[in-house]
Amino acid sequence: MLYSEDVFKRVTELGGSIEVICGSMFSGKTEELIRRLRRAQIARLRVEIFKPRTDTRFDESAVVSHNANYIHSTPVDHSSSILLLGSEVQVVGIDEAQFFDGELPRVCNMLANRGVRVIVAGLDMDYQGVPFGPMPGLLAIAESITKVHAVCVKCGNPALYSYRLATERSTVLLGEKESYEPRCRVCYGLQA
């Protein structure tokens, strides 16, 4: 999207931006999202957090990390709901972005253009090592990208892949350590 100088000046003055936190499962994406959102709350900014309604692994409405840290959130069915529910805020947090519909990048752009700081966390690749859902689009438009790594359970090197242990082959399979383990490029390739 090309911006005229006036639009770019207005967006910069308003302070809107898109930050993406991505990586494999067990890499600390949600932990980092919660940390950034808590800092925004400490700064007394108006914050709203969203997650896909389908993600009920830890809690129906809270965003919960593997370390059991949590922050209250609003579950939504479609990314367009974020525009309505996040209309009076300064910071929007979005967890498990890979499970959202393809409109999420457009929604994040609209929020950032309004001056909202948008912080998004999600898997950048599915269990087959393929870019996941709306994440490639978000990575392309983000002002800031933080790629976090887990530890490979086979060799101890930095892991960027989510290796699926379960035999289920659908792209989306909500699970934890019983279904997935983090692996480095070499150990993922040797076992995949």
d(CA 6, CA 75): 35
Partnered with residue 162 across adjacent β-strands are 182
Q: Is residue 183 one of the residues assigned to a domain?
A: no
Segment 3-31 mean pLDDT: 76
Q: pLDDT category, 87, cuts 50, 70, 90?
A: confident
Residue 65 has pLDDT above 80, yes or no: no
Which range of residues forms the domain containing residue 77? 5-148
Calpha distance 70→95 (Å, rounded): 12
pTM of the model: 0.83
Number of domains in the chain: 1
- Which of 2-11, 56-65, 110-119 shows the highest mean pLDDT? 110-119
Q: Could you tell me if residue 170 is inside a domain?
A: no
- Tell me the pLDDT tens digit for each residue of 105-158: 999 999 999 999 999 999 999 999 999 999 999 999 999 999 999 999 999 999
Instruction: Residue 151: name the closest of 21, 22, 31, 24 by CA.
Output: 24
96 is catalytic: yes
Q: Is residue 87 part of a domain?
A: yes
Q: Where are the beta strands (DSSP E) in the chain?
A: 17-23, 47-52, 62-64, 70-72, 74-76, 91-94, 117-123, 144-148, 150-151, 158-159, 161-164, 180-183
Q: Quick check: is 177 in a domain?
A: no
Query: For residue 47, is pLDDT > 70?
Result: yes
Q: Can you tell me the distance from the alpha carbon of 105 to that of 175, in angstroms, rounded to the nearest whole number?
A: 25
Antiparallel, parallel or unpaired: β 91-94 and 117-123: parallel
The residue ranking higher by pLDDT, 172 or 47, is: 47
Flag whether 164 is in a domain: no
pLDDT of residue 53: 86
The residue annotated as part of the active site, out of 19, 32, 48, 96, is: 96
Q: Domain with 67 in it: what CATH number?
A: 3.40.50.300
pLDDT (average), residues 24-31 = 92
Residue 67 lies in a domain: yes
pLDDT tier for residue 14 given thresholds of 50, 70 and 90: low
In total, the chain counts a number of residues equal to 192
pLDDT surpasses 80 at 86 = no
Asked whether residue 165 is assigned to any structural domain, the reply reads no
- Res 133: pLDDT: 95
Helical spans, DSSP H, in the chain: 5-14, 29-42, 80-85, 104-113, 135-141, 185-191
Q: Residue 96: its pLDDT value, please?
A: 93
Q: Report the pLDDT value the prediction gives residue 70, as an integer from 0 to 100.
A: 61
49 in any annotated domain: yes
